[in-house]
Structures are given as C-alpha cells and as structure tokens.
Structure 1
Amino acid sequence: MFWWEGQGPEGFRVAFTDTSAGNLALHVGDDSAAVRSRRSALEVHMGIAPASLRFMEQVHSAEVAVAGPAPAAEEVPVADALLSPDGSAPLAVMVADCLPVLFAGPGPHGVVTAAAHAGRRGLIDGILSNTVAAMRSAGAARIQAWIGPGVCGRCYEVPAEMRAEASHLPGAASQTSWGTPALDLPAAALSQLQGLNVSVEAIPGCTMEEPELFSHRRDAPTGRFAGLIWQPR
C-alpha cells in the first residue's frame, strides 16, 4: 500500500501510497463509491479514525488552507497546501507526476504539519515558500520536509519557453534523457526548501519510470496516489 513510509517528530508518520492502494481521487472519472472505499481502507491501514483524512481540491495555485476540526465529509478547501496547526488532522495530498511534499515542525500546541502539491506552476508561484511561511506563522520550528516521488528531470519534457519561465528557480533547468528541454521539479523543490532553512529528505521514485506509481503523463487518464502525514491513534 505504501511506496515509502517513515518517521516524523513525536510519533508522527509520513508516507506515500502506490498503485496497490488504488486511485484515491474523486475527479478522474473513477467510481466514487470505489474511491471512498479505498480511502476508508487507507484510514484503517494508517490507524486513524474513519472519515478523518483531510483532502484538498487542488488547482495548481499557491494557496495554503488551514484544516479545521471538521471531518473530511465537510466542504473540501480549494488550495494546494493544507496545514494543521496542532497536527490533529491527518493530511493528504494527491499527485500523479507533480510533487507531494509533507512537512512537520514542533509548535506551541503540538506538531505543526502540512501537505503541499508542488507542480511546475506551484513551484514558480511559491507554494512551498507560502507553506513554510504559514507553518512559521503558526509557531513551527525546526521544520522537516519530505519530497515524495514525482516526474524526474530526465523525463519531464517541456517546451524551451516553459523551461525559461522557471529559470529563476535553482536546479529547475534540465534536459531529458533523449536531449530535449526539461524541468527537474525535485531538484527545484529541494533547492527552495534548503534555501528556507528546512531540513529535507527526498524520496526516490520517478512516476514516469515506475509502474507502481500513477503518472498522468504516461497513462492519462489515470489515478492519483497520495502523500500522507498523521499521528496514529
């Protein structure tokens, strides 16, 4: 069910699902009852309360929303990062080539956690810096981040103009393995976070190259896997 699972601060867990967990997105034409059943199975596997996992409606923005006490069945926020000021809300971010980035840092009321969706547009517009700023506004210190699997710089082919648009992001410019312009989203995210004094762990895995990960570029239409941060009960 998990491509990778690791330990965060104070007993928190971080993980990234794979295709064995199934598609977790409601917006890709899948049967909604089947998606909700997979989400329920995932919550059982995570050891969290039913219907407590919080999702976003991701729109490639740089907006950060706060996860309140409402259950996941309530209105889903339109945002590309979700923050829990005390870590009480289990958080999810869905991807299929863009980067899932998870965050944790001790704060005044527990561990401040966040989950961000970092694609090309979000990285350019500042989704990661906005997420770190929101966490620090909530009192987070010693922030750690985990960059999950995404399309790698050898596979993410883009027009030359699109690569030039991201030229201000250190590490972003790349070239595919077949010699065309490309973007390296993981390298750009790593550079941004290190520049913000965030401790970072990059999890290996290219979505284009690994059949156990969903990839929109490889298989569109396709499902979505998730990055998760939570504290088991």
Structure 2
Amino acid sequence: MFHWCADILPGVSAAFTDTGAGNLALHVGDDPAQVELRRAELEQRIGVARQGLRFMNQVHGATVAVMEADTPAPKADAMVSRGLPLAVMVADCIPVLLAGEAVDGPVLAAVHAGRPGIAHGVIPAAVERMKSLGASGIRAWLGPSICGNCYEVPAALQDEVAAAVPTTRSTTSWGTPGLDLPAGARSQLEDAGVEVAYTGVCTLETESLYSYRRNKETGRFAGLVWCHE
C-alpha cells in the first residue's frame, strides 16, 4: 500500500502510496464507489477518521488553499492546514509534502507540483502561506515523480519553463530536450530556506507506481501528511 512512509515530526507522519493502494482519484474514469472504498481503507490504515483526508480538485495552477475543518475540497494545487490531514494525487507530477512547527502545533502542506505549477511558483507560494500561519523549521518531502532523464518535452516548452526556473532544464537519457521537475522543486525550496529531507524515485521507471507517461489510462497514487497521537 505504501511506497514510503515515515514519522517526520513528533506526532506527524507522511507517506506516498503505490499501486497496491489502488487508484485514489475520482476523475480518471474509475468506479467512484470503489475509489471511495479505497480512500476509506487508506484512512483506516493511517488512523484518520472517515472522510478526514482532505483532497483537492487539482488544476495545474498555483492557488494555495488554507484548510479549516469545514472547508470543502478546493480548486487548488496546494493545501495548508494547522494539522488537518492532507492528500495530493499524482501520476508523474511531484507530490510535495511540507511540515513545520508553530506555537500552536504543526503546520502541514500538500502540493501538486507539475510542470505548470513549478513554473508558476506553487511551491514557494505554499511555503509563504505556511510561514503566514507561524510555521518555522519547515522541511519538504518530494515524492516519486518523472525524472529529468525521462521527461521529454518540445524544445520551445523546455525554454519556456527554464526561463522561469532555470534548474529544470535537462537532457533525456536519449539526448532530447527534457525537464527535471525535482531539480526545479529543490531549487525553489532551497531559495525559500526549506530543507529537502527526501526525494523519491522516477515514476516512469518504477512499475509499482502510476505513470501517465507510461500509460495514459492510469490511476493516481497519493502523497499524505497527517497528525497522530
């Protein structure tokens, strides 16, 4: 069920699921009842109340939503909370999990960082929102995503993204223009003073993870961050 799972702060855990947890997205043509069942099983596994995990309606933008107990699923690509459990779904984009500590407890974030989100600054926007809630000592965990050796793009698109985030420019293993999204994410986090504590494997190269580049008819795995006793 979990590709990776760890305690990241006292009373806070983070995880990235794999295909063993099944597809967790409602927007890919799967049976909604089965998706809800898988989400319920996941919540039970991590000790979160039913429908306690907050999911986003992800749109490849840079909007950051601050989640309260009664906040509905936002149209956003990042969520920040004062301890509420958060989830982000991906299948080649980077699931970025962040955690810091404030006077009144942990501040958490989950970020959907694809090519447009990296270019438009969704990660630094999430960090700034965390800081506005009093978070300090923020660290980041970058989940599995497509790597710079595998993410081929047209040269014009590479130039466009690299103009915004120069560290994203890469060359694929077969010699064509590429984008290294994890490198771009790391540079943005370093510029924001955030330590990167973990970087995941390549989704395209890892059969136990969903990859849209490998198969467009695919599911989504999730990055999760939550508080526990």
Q: Does 1:178 align with 2:174?
A: yes
In 1, Cα distance between equivalents of 2:100 and 2:62: 20
The match for 1:217 is: 213
* Residue 146, structure 1, aligned to residue 141, structure 2: yes
Deviations 1:147-203 (A, max 9, x none): 110000010000000110122313200011111100000111011101110011233
Q: Is the partner of 1:136 in helix, strand or coil?
A: helix
* Residue correspondence of structure 1 range 1-233 to structure 2 within 5 A: 1-70=1-70, 75-84=72-81, 86-87=82-83, 89-168=84-163, 169-233=165-229
RMSD: 1.0
- Structure 1 contact 64–80 (Cα < 8 Å) conserved: yes
Mapped contact 1:55–1:92 kept (Cα < 8 A): yes
More strand as a share of residues: 2
Q: Which amino acid in 2 is paired with 1:113?
A: L
Long gaps (5+) in structure 2: none
> What's the CA shift string for 1:32-81, capped at 9, x where partnerless?
000000000000111111110100000001000011112xxx73110000
Kindly provide the amino acid, as one letter, of the partner of residue 50 in structure 1: R
* Count of residue pairs brought into register by the alignment: 228
Q: Distance in 2 between matches of 1:51 and 1:167?
A: 39
Where structure 1 has 5 or more consecutive residues not aligned to the other structure, the ranges are none
* % identical aligned pairs: 54
TM-score normalized with structure 2 length: 0.97
- Partners in 1 of 2:200 and 2:111 — Cα distance? 18
Tell me which amino acid in the other structure corresponds to 2:69. P
